[in-house]
Every structure is written in structure tokens, then in C-alpha cells.
Amino acid sequence: PFGDITKPQVKKYIPDEFDVLCAGFPCQAFSIAGKRGGFDDTRGTLFFDVAEIIKQHKPKAIFLEKVKGLTTHDNGKTLKVILNTLKELGYKVFTEIVNAKDFGVPQNRERIYIVGFNEKHYGKNIAFQFPKKNAKETFINKFLEKDYWIFNIRASSEILSFQKRRWKASNY
């Protein structure tokens, strides 16, 4: 769905049946860069709205993504609540911390992925493996135009020179 899934007018746009639910919920409540309020932070409770959608629509599979900090938040208790909720809803769940750089993306971005399969649809003996990482590193310059770096270095240098002149003029 699009918009705020806590609002009834948005929930009405969710189709009755769908095979896969892909969701993420705000990271600030769990991230080491945030205040780590967890479920005490209203942004952290959005998982329960996702769980309500799962409960009501029972998709065949779910795919959730969150910051790695979720694994250590409240000594792992928060993740345990999420996993137990999904299990109570009838899903066999698998988790893995994945770094985007290990899959050809020029960014160091660690995330926990939670993949779940509806046991009523697939049975209890579900075999799932996360993809193995690709050892080949990828760098951003592979995707940028040849003259990009030259332009940015020149532009950055000009901006810095301008700032220095401005600071000097204001006796900063």
C-alpha cells in the first residue's frame, strides 16, 4: 500500500489476496544512530501494523528489512518479539544480516532480512537459504561517467575557496 498503513483509508487499498508482503518499518527506533526507543517509540510500533496486515491477509511469503541494530536492540528481545509474532501468525521465519557490498552494490549497508513462509501453504518442512555473498567488490566509479570525478573535484575546490574567502572577510 501507499501512505500511512495505520490509517483505515489507506488500509482499504490493500488487496484481499496477494502472494508476497514486502515491508520495512522506520529504523530510527532501532538504529544505533537513533535514540533506540524501540517499541516505546511510535515509529517502532509500525511493525505491529505490518503484523496486522499479515494476520488479516495471510500472504504466502513475507519479506521484511530492517537496520542491523534491530538484532541487538534491548539485548535481542525486540527481534525475539518480532520473530515470535510472525511464528504465532503461522510463518516459518529465517533471518540473516546481509551487507549490500557483498552483492555488487557499491555501498557498505548492513541490514537484517527476515523471510517468512506461510506454513499452511508450504507445510512445516520449509528449506530456505539466503543467497551466498558475491566476493567481488564493486566501486561507485564503475557507475559514474568518466568526467564526473574531475567535475566534482573542481566544483568542491571552488566551493571551498569561496568559503575560505567568505570566512576571511567576516573575520571568522
- Active site (catalytic) residues: 27
Cα atoms found within 13 Å of the Cα of residue 171, Cβ hemisphere only: 0
31 - beta bridge partners? none
Cα–Cα distance for residue pair 35/78, rounded to 1 Å: 15
Secondary structure (3-state) at 99: strand
Q: Angle at which helices 77-88 and 46-57 pack, to 10 degrees? A: 20
All three cell numbers of 122, joined, read 508450504
The edge-to-edge listing of strands for the beta sheet with 61-67 is: 20-24, 61-67, 110-118, 91-99
Q: Residue 31, SS3? A: coil
